[in-house]
Structure 1
Amino acid sequence: MRVATQRDLIAVGFADIERAERFLKARELESVSREDLLEALSYCADPDSALLLLVRIAEREPKVLKLIAQGDRSIPLFRVLGASEALGEFLVRQPRYLSIVDTDPQATFRAREAAELTRELLESVGADPDAERPVATIVGTEGIVALRVKYRALLLDLAMRDLCCADPEVAFPLVAAELADLAGAAISAGLALARAEVITKTSPEAVDALRLAVIGMGKCGARELNYISDVDVIYVHAVRDGLKDDGAAHLDADAAAKMAAQLATLTARAMNASAPEPGLWELDANLRPEGKDGALSRTLDSHVAYYKRWAETWEFQALLKARYLAGDAELGAAYEEAVAPMIWVSSERDGFVESTQAMRRRVTDNIPAAEVNRQIKLGPGGLRDVEFTVQLLQLVHGRTEESLRVRNTLTAIDELAEAGYMSRADAANFGGAYRFLRVLEHRIQLTRLRRTHLMPTKPDAMRTIARASQGLGIPGWISTDEMLTRWQATKREVRGLHEKIFYRPLLATAANLSADEIRLTPEAAQARLKALGYADPKGAMRHIESLTSGVSRRSALQRQLLPILLGWIAEGVDPDAGLLGFRRLSEALGDSHWFLGMLRDSPAGAQRLCTILSSSRFITDLLEVSPESAAWLGNDADLEPQPFDKLWSEISSKLGRHKDHEKRLRLIRLIRRRELLRIALADSARLIDQDEVGKALSDVDRAAVLGILRVAEQEEYSQSEKITELLIVAMGRQGGREIGYGSDVDVMYVHRPLPDVDEQEAQQQALRIVGNVQHYVNIPLKPAILAEPKLEVDADLRPEGRQGPLVRTLDAYREYYSRWSRVWETQALLRARPLGGSDKVANEFFELVDSVRYASAITPSDVVEIRRIKARVEAERMPRGADPSRQLKLGRGGLSDVEWLVQSLQLIHTKAYPALRTTSTRAALKALKDAELLPAADVEVLDHAWVLATRIRCANIIVSGRASDQLPRNIRDMEAAARWCGYASGNAAKLEDDYLKSARRARVVFEKHFYADE
């Protein structure tokens, strides 16, 4: 016989090589082939423990060694010995049960029936399994030992099948269900022992007169029990009807309660009292009414009365798992039937969702700090996160969705996904995580059959758990690191799902709705719509019926979501328009799975969408033609405006892939429309401020104009040689990067002929390119792009305005600014910046521009001219009939006042104060304050007025889809503008008052400084 080397022992998985060598030489194993033994031990999660147990078993029953020579038939024994010291010890005490593991391993787990388990355990104590109220004949300590031994034999059989199956995570639901059935069978046998003992103190007739049902709670009630766990129960009793009042059989209420308590106490003692065979588990009745302070058993009426008047929220969550377990089956069924209606209306209690959430937080907060990271059950990302999440969803939505009225966690997850309350992906992840965590918990408990949920800290113990958790069908052993890595990843995934789902505002809102409101019955819906403020409830009902009719998953999800979304839509300015927009968006998206999933799983996204649809025609129209963009609402990162470089890279890439210029122009405009929508959505969600809005919009328009310029240039160069270099210069608000949603793109065009080129031909080429740019921004595209925000390129700020050439050479600009430039043209250059085109031309042109706008202070006559032009603008450009106090741009204290004052001071002081050399109005205001050219208080007034006017201008187009420079007069438009500007609901009048006050103050500051020396 070959002697096993240390390498052989290491390969098998021994941790203590010297100890293994000693036991392999034990006299009990002398008759065993070392090769066969090592082969058998290689199936052990813990070969060290298994070898010791084998020696001890062989000492008492040498026949065990015959299994080793039988190849695969030895696997069940060694899988058990390597995973469970406690079951190995049981075989040491009871070697007659070795026959259980003398079998071939089965890859598929096969469960045993509950009735079969109950029969075997009743027979173990000599009770008649077919009797209505079985009574044990093997009583006292002998009966307790017989019950426990038989229970452990059945547990050994179950563990063997579990440890030998191909995939324990697949087998887990069946294993947990059989464990619960086995517990119920043990309680039935324990109750038979209790009846036998009480009979000796009373009479068979008295005991027979009492009906006692044991109700399983928690994991036992849900048929998802652990290997070792407290078995939570509730006792309910009654006196049998129809008995003769012969004294012996008569039980009054007090006597019945006393006997029920005796039976309950004796049943619990059979499970866990001191005896030669160790106890099984604690039978815990602390979930009963009033807990430890309450009666151990109550009548059904007493239970019902308590739950109706005194029960706390958590007690209904516990009742979700309630199931008849043992004793009087008819009484148990009556209990289930009586409490069920109270379970499914419990979520209507005030603060139900919040109290459930708080309870989960308390559980986490009370974990000892040293155990938090080791907790599989209670810690963050543990089993409780899954269970609390699932139970809360069941209790909130189970009022109207009967399919959710199930006890088992995995079944509930499947039903929640099927009904649409949880996405299929989340359900798959939650279910998979739950199975994995439960298998880990089972393997930890199997080791010594102790109630624990902590991952061990010793490396050898963790290795045993990793290997024991592995299915027999997987070749090779999973390492400890692999197990721990998966465990940590699972915890992160579970915690993320728990926080996403468990803390949904949708849950609290749904819990506060009546059952009729949730069902959206026509009567309840119309009443609710009217109460919420819908002007046309009948029209709204048509939209609701269109969205919810049918049996599709989409219709089912709409029926769940709409009762809640209707309230959020009603929080907007125009609920009827919002609901219509929601219907159009839903129809445009069809069966897209992500849309309703986003509404369900992302409360922020859902509430944002509802608010937008009922407050913004501009965004609603854009969403209708770009419905996929609604997905951004669920993720702040998706709403982040794209930087210019990224936009230009995308446009350049798409232009390079297409040759047809109409298709290229269409792609540019589609990208622009998409990005305008992104910015508006980010703005609506308060993720960006007004300065960021202006910069983002400027970048989008810049990218679009440059894309159009490239198309125009390539079109020209495909027909003729390039003979000039072109530059587009941003002017006005585009130059300052402070535009709004309806702003034009103010530009100037500059070109420089290439060397040795006829200047007239170069001018003609530049005009053709620029003319095409102007044409392409307005050309109707086929097919038309609906809801496209207009892109207006305006070159009116060029020298000589509309009377001047559309494009000039660099030299022509140089000559013009040196000879004929007027002060308003110098003022316009204060906001000039390169938009795109030739970098060389840009460098030279802005040397010229800087020499004009920053060279020297303007003269007194220039100041007079600026004032004259400003007065003329106010007189001639103010819309006819407009109220100057309400005109946001040209009115008193409006944008024009602030900008003209700032620009006039820039022209006067820019040479002495370089910080004033900025194209941004707000940056210039800050520089004026820092240079003490304007008092800080005046700057604050001007800045506030400018920002508020800009914000209201943006609100006007956002609300109506049309640009307007007027402070709204219509109360609904004013309310919508106020909401957009950050005011709370019902503050339209406050916005109006704030703007008029702000404009008056700005006008005072403007006149004080603009006309300072008059």
Structure 2
Amino acid sequence: MNQPMSTEPVTESHWQDWLAWAAETGVEVPDSPVFARARAAVWDGSEFVALEVQRHPEMFAELLASGDLFRTYGPGDLDRALTQALAGVDDEQALARALRLFRRREQVRIVWRDLSGEGALEEVLEDLSELADCCIRQALGKLQDWTRAELGVPCDAEGRALEMVVLAMGKLGARELNLSSDIDLIFAFPERGEVRDGPRALSNEQFFTRLGQRLVQALGQQTVDGFVFRVDTRLRPFGESGPLAMCFDAMEDYYQSQAREWERYAMIKARAVCGDAEDIAQLEAMLRPFVYRRYLDFGAIESLRELKRLIAKELYRRGMDANIKLGPGGIREIEFIGQAFQLVRGGRDAELQIRPIREVLALLGERELLPPEAVRELDEGYCFLRRVENRLQAWRDRQTHTLPEDEAARERMARAMGFADWASFAPVLAAHRERVQHHFDEVFAPPSGEDEPADHEHEHELAALWRGEYEREQALALLAESGFVSPESALVHIDAFRDTIERKVSRRGSERLAQLMPLALPIVAASEHADLALERVLRLLEAVARRTSYLAMLVEHPCILSQLARLAGMSPWFTDRLSRQPLLLDEMIDPRRLYDPLRREGLDEELDVLLGPVDPEDLEQQMERLRQFAQGNMLRVAAADLTGVIPLMVVSDYLTEIAEATVTRVLELTLAHLQARHGRPSAIPGEGSGFLVLGYGKLGGIELGYGSDLDLVFVHASDSMTAMTDGEREISNEQFYARLGQRMIHMLTTRTPSGTLYEVDMRLRPDGGKGMLVRSIGAFAAYQDKDAWTWEHQALVRARPVAGDPELARRFAEVRREILCRRRDPEQLRRDVREMRAKMRANLDRSGDGRFDLKQGPGGIADIEFMVQYAVLRWAADHPELADWTDNVRLLDTLARIDLLPGDTAENLAEAYKVLRAAYHRSALQEQPKTIADDQLLDERARVRALWCELMEECG
């Protein structure tokens, strides 16, 4: 759209006054159509600029001569210009005047670039924010020096001189300041104490209060030169009744115990403008847990919904629908959308802990939390509305967000936005606001038709049942009608849950449950196994009821209840796992994600997202994120497994890849930590770490189940006893790798609020529990060659690298192949394997009392594994391809292909193995002992026993 050439008669007369002054003083006026069009647009859109140029003609002449009107400022330009403007300022009156003259010049420049179209929106907001930052920083610097000279120096207990930290809130905090905005500031100081070297006794609080008052006056007081920025300090703790400046400890107490929910919303954009860097870091670390909860905080949505209701009510009362900031489809609604997701998810996703709303929206699009179309429309709406806001305020440099009512102002507004007239501008504005309001309503829509309860009769009846308002017979009839097979049992569970929960939860918790239970009961009743699902879902709700944010999450996302009821009816594993780790409820929000578990590449990408923002030295947070990663992905595998989305035989592939990705990342984090302290080990072949993690047992065999331990062995590539690391704090290679192994085990096994990552068994290393935690590959090879028992070579069949140095992995593969392909006495081998199996069965078989141990019982999984290991060790010397694999299924396939076992033995063993493994998995998901009734799987067990007898016992 072309900018119309029209100007207000009054403002045009101001330009004529400046031209007359320029002619008298010999100032050259740019003679170009581009300048003329830009000047006309600015004078048409800003009476403020026209007046300031008329009253201070030399200022505009200097802007023209310097070229600043026509260029984009670079980093530091404003700061350097203000430093020069304040040179020689030595008292508050001179400071006030210099700041106001500087602001006047820069404000005229910024409005010019905005209205002329030379400055993009991003530039305008950045310049305005940087102008405020510079004025705050440099004014505070001078005022602090002067106040210290008058009152003394505020110090901490160790005598360190303290500085004031100024937090910018709102648009300034996000560096999104508009053309005539207040600046919201909070003043803080690190520590209570006394002012030293002053004329009289004074506390630090008194000093910083006085300093804050001086800063507010220097920036906000109206003088003959105007003001710099209107300053609002009411967002501080306790508002206007609170101290102007507060120490960190007092602020922490306030935000932990007394702050209101809207203060979390406000604090999202808080940014320290000035202060000591270490003090700022301390304050930010203290505030972060207040703003961003560790868990998914869906209670924030209801809080913001209520805040929006109050704003809408106030606007309606005042008749302010024309307010483009607070009205329907206004700027505030866009900010609420972004900040709702930040409050809900920012504790889990640190990348969401950012301030500018456009960056937030873009990230929500990347995370697929908002549809691409919504992100685009919200971003376009935000840019359009911010430009409208700036043009409203550019007219007279006044803080207004209300669209004009008189015709002349409307036409001027339209022209400033690049439209021919109001009639062409208004529909575009309305369309943007309608789209914004639509997306706002989508995000903040009340759950379950909150606005129309009369249309949900059944829900209303279940709400009454939950409140205990029905007689027993009425309640039973309603539950039977709802779909419960045993309404008596269902009523017992509901009554018991209500009685228990009333003693546990707060008033807010009771309100949340009053919303949730009428939603939950019909959803559970409609599930396939309603009675089982009800008992298990109620157990979960009891576990999370004190954390009302989880109840809010379920209210906001009834789809979670649907998935929960479905899966809980199939297996108690889900509700038990979720009861221990409610953070995992997040995994159930999106059914597409829930039933689509990730493979290795996707797992690594998810780890990048989770761990990328974490401080490399924050071990606790690293461990928490790793546990959330592993548990969330196991939950997805279990959901896809139970519902048949993935076949049973690939379940272990998924679970094994989760473990591999986890162990690999633990190794990377641990290596980075130790190398930062001690450097890299020296004299290591190749460019790798010289460290290798071997997976044995189920991990090595790619056969992990739910809750499986990890059998690990660590080896390193250093053969020198004297080699040292190359860092400043050098240690021997042996020490380095021992610490590496110890820290890895610590990260994997330590119990955190999210539980353990994996249980780890290191007893398969050379010399077992008495052996060194980490051995060199040379020592490992020598042990396997000369000292290992037959059962250790059996274990080697299922050993493979899962993380670490690729070169060392190749060396291990050579050692393993050489050992497995060794020629052995078949009879001695058979005796050794048989004796070890007998010992294992004697110690581990839990069969009895009518139950059969799926793994250790005669004809169970372990018998098949031992037969496969025997076959590999017996025939690999002649058939080295038997050393290619570590998993039983592919080893049995290989044995069948080369026809080493009699008849259909290999095929029969493979079939029985798959059936027994399936039963083992199901037992894990039902959280039952890994046993079955004696009368189950009789054919498979008998076949395995017969094959064992034929192959291992040589029964007649």
TM-score range, shorter chain: 0.3 to 0.5
Which has the greater radius of gyration?
1
Q: So what's the TM-score if we normalise by structure 2?
A: 0.47
